[in-house]
Every structure is written in structure tokens, then in C-alpha cells.
């Protein structure tokens, strides 16, 4: 392996300790940041994510609550709960875990959350603020975590060719907006590729910074990467692996072993971007609490 590993787990732990310090300072002013996560239904992957969010919120000294609702919950019932949380002064951050059951429209739910409590950064007000470059909104956690990884690993984004593979509202689009902002962690020349891109790998081979967020297991291999590039793997895919006792393993959108022979720096899966997402969520919740008293 030639590439240096970007250890997202270690960087996220460092950020969580900084957050715990900020939580202590807020507590001294009589405010305990409160994060409430709403989980509708029993999706097993979502249940694991939600449990981790609550665990790390509590570890940082915050109030972490999870409200679990049956999969049969109606959209009206969920909206009524969101309204109650919007009005509750002890709740500074609200996160409704996605995906929602198919009878609930996620856009309606997101638009119902008070933008000042939208710690996911999914509300159109916060999406707009990100695009304009206003810093008083909330950044979506996964792309914000990627920028933090780049900054803390000393990766120069200014003037760099950054290529994002994936155009989702949660990762690809906000990632592009962040990388093009005129500030530290931005100033990159950004290309966004997707499933309809012609000559996809022509683009990936030009990238100084390659961000894979397509949701297709190990689609990017060493031969698609510019030597020395920084590779950030946002993918989280479960694939069959008969050699494991569980019969499966987690992998990213990047084929790690071949990519690590070519890249200069690379994030692993798991232990790369994933832990950063939760750290950024806690940071948003602390900001929400700070803003509630200023």
C-alpha cells in the first residue's frame, strides 16, 4: 500500500472531544444541548445509525433522545410530532431518520422542521444558505465531515481539481457547493459526475481530490485514479463474502486495495467518512443550542 490512510475514526474522536468541551461551556451557562432523533419503522441499518447518534450525543454530555414510531405512523402524526419538537425549548436539534416508510413524503417532513433546528441541513432554507455561502445555517453532515477530513489532513483544496461521483441531495450536490466556496476547504475546481456521465473515468483520472458517493460497491479502482490523488470514499455497501462468518462485509464505492496502490491519501470503509458524519451532527446540535441563547 502506497497511500497514507486518512483515519476518520481518530479525527472524529478528536472532534467529539472538542464538542464535549463546548457542551461543558454551554452547561456552565445553563444550557444542555438537546438532540432528538425520530425513527419511523424498523429498518435495521437505520436502527444502528440512530443508536450511535444517541450514544455519541450522550457521551459528549448532550441530551440525546430517540423517539421510535411504528412503521404504520401516518404522515399527519409525524408532522404533529415535528411541530411539538419545534416548539420544545429543550430540543435544539431535530433529525428524522431517512428513509421513511413509502406512505410518508420525506420532503414534506423536512420542510416542516424549523430550519433553526434542522441539524441535518436538509431544509431548503439551509440548502439555500449553503449555496449562497451564508454561514448562519446548518451544513449537511456528510459533506461537512468530508471537508473537515480534508482540512485536518492538510489536503490543499485551493485550485485543486475536485471530482465528485454522485449527485444526491444529501452528498453530491452539497459537496460540490462546499468545495467551490471561496474559503479554506473550498476554492476547488469542481466536476460532478453521475450515472449519465459520458467517459466517467476520464474525469476521475483527472482528480486531485476524488470523492466517491455513488452507492455502487467498489466501482472505482486503482486504474481510475490519478497517482498521488486524495480519495474520499463516502460509499457504504454490504456485499456477499462467503469467507466471513457473517457471510457479508461492508465496502465502499472504491476498491480499496487497488486504489491504495495509486492514491496519495485514502479513507477506509468503515472508519473513514462514517464517524465524521455523526461528529458533524453533534457539532450542528451544539451550534443550534448556542444560537438559541444569542
Q: What residue ranges bind ligand GUN (CB under 6 A)?
A: 95-98, 120, 141, 277
Nearer to ligand GUN, 260 or 273 (CB): 273
Residue 120 among the catalytic residues: yes
Give me the catalytic one of 22, 53, 117, 226.
53
Nearer to ligand GUN, 193 or 276 (CB): 276
Nearer to ligand GUN, 25 or 108 (CB): 108
Smallest separation (angstroms) from ligand GUN to the CB of 96: 6
Smallest separation (angstroms) from ligand GUN to the CB of 264: 28
Among the listed residues 5, 58, 77, 68, the one whose alpha carbon sits nearest the alpha carbon of residue 37: 68
Smallest separation (angstroms) from ligand GUN to the CB of 46: 6
Nearer to ligand GUN, 73 or 204 (CB): 73
Smallest separation (angstroms) from ligand GUN to the CB of 141: 5
Give me the catalytic one of 22, 117, 118, 120.
120
Nearer to ligand GUN, 103 or 158 (CB): 103
Residue 117 among the catalytic residues: no
Give me the catalytic one of 22, 97, 118, 253.
97
Residue 173 among the catalytic residues: no
Residue nearest to ligand GUN (CB): 98
Smallest separation (angstroms) from ligand GUN to the CB of 111: 14
Active site residues per annotation: 53, 97, 120
Amino acid at each position: 500500500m502506497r497511500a497514507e490512510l486518512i483515519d476518520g475514526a481518530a479525527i472524529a474522536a478528536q472532534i467529539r472531544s472538542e464538542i464535549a468541551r463546548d457542551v461543558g461551556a454551554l452547561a456552565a451557562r445553563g444550557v444542555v444541548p438537546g438532540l432528538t432523533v425520530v425513527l419511523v419503522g424498523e429498518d435495521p441499518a437505520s436502527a444502528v445509525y440512530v443508536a450511535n447518534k444517541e450514544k455519541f450525543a450522550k457521551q459528549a454530555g448532550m441530551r440525546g433522545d430517540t423517539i421510535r414510531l411504528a412503521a404504520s405512523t401516518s404522515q399527519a402524526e409525524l408532522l404533529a410530532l415535528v411541530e411539538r419538537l419545534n416548539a420544545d425549548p429543550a430540543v435544539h436539534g431535530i433529525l428524522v431518520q431517512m428513509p421513511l416508510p413509502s406512505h410518508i413524503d420525506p420532503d414534506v417532513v423536512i420542510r416542516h422542521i424549523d430550519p433553526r433546528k434542522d441539524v441535518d441541513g436538509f431544509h431548503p432554507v439551509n440548502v439555500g444558505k449553503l449555496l449562497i455561502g451564508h454561514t448562519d445555517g446548518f451544513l449537511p453532515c456528510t459533506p461537512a465531515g468530508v471537508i473537515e477530513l480534508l482540512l485536518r489532513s492538510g489536503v490543499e483544496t485551493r485550485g485543486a481539481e475536485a471530482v465528485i461521483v454522485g449527485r444526491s441531495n444529501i452528498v453530491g450536490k452539497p459537496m460540490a457547493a462546499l468545495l467551490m466556496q471561496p474559503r479554506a476547504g473550498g476554492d476547488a475546481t469542481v466536476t460532478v459526475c453521475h450515472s449519465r456521465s459520458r467517459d466517467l473515468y476520464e474525469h476521475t483520472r483527472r482528480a486531485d481530490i476524488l470523492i466517491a458517493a455513488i452507492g455502487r460497491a467498489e466501482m472505482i479502482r486503482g486504474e481510475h485514479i490519478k497517482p498521488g490523488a486524495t480519495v474520499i470514499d463516502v460509499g457504504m455497501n454490504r456485499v456477499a463474502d462467503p469467507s466471513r462468518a457473517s457471510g457479508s462485509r461492508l465496502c465502499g464505492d472504491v476498491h480499496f486495495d487497488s486504489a491504495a496502490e495509486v492514491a496519495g491519501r485514502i479513507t477506509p470503509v468503515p472508519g473513514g467518512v462514517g464517524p465524521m458524519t455523526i461528529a458533524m451532527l453533534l457539532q450542528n446540535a451544539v451550534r443550534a443550542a448556542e444560537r438559541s441563547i444569542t
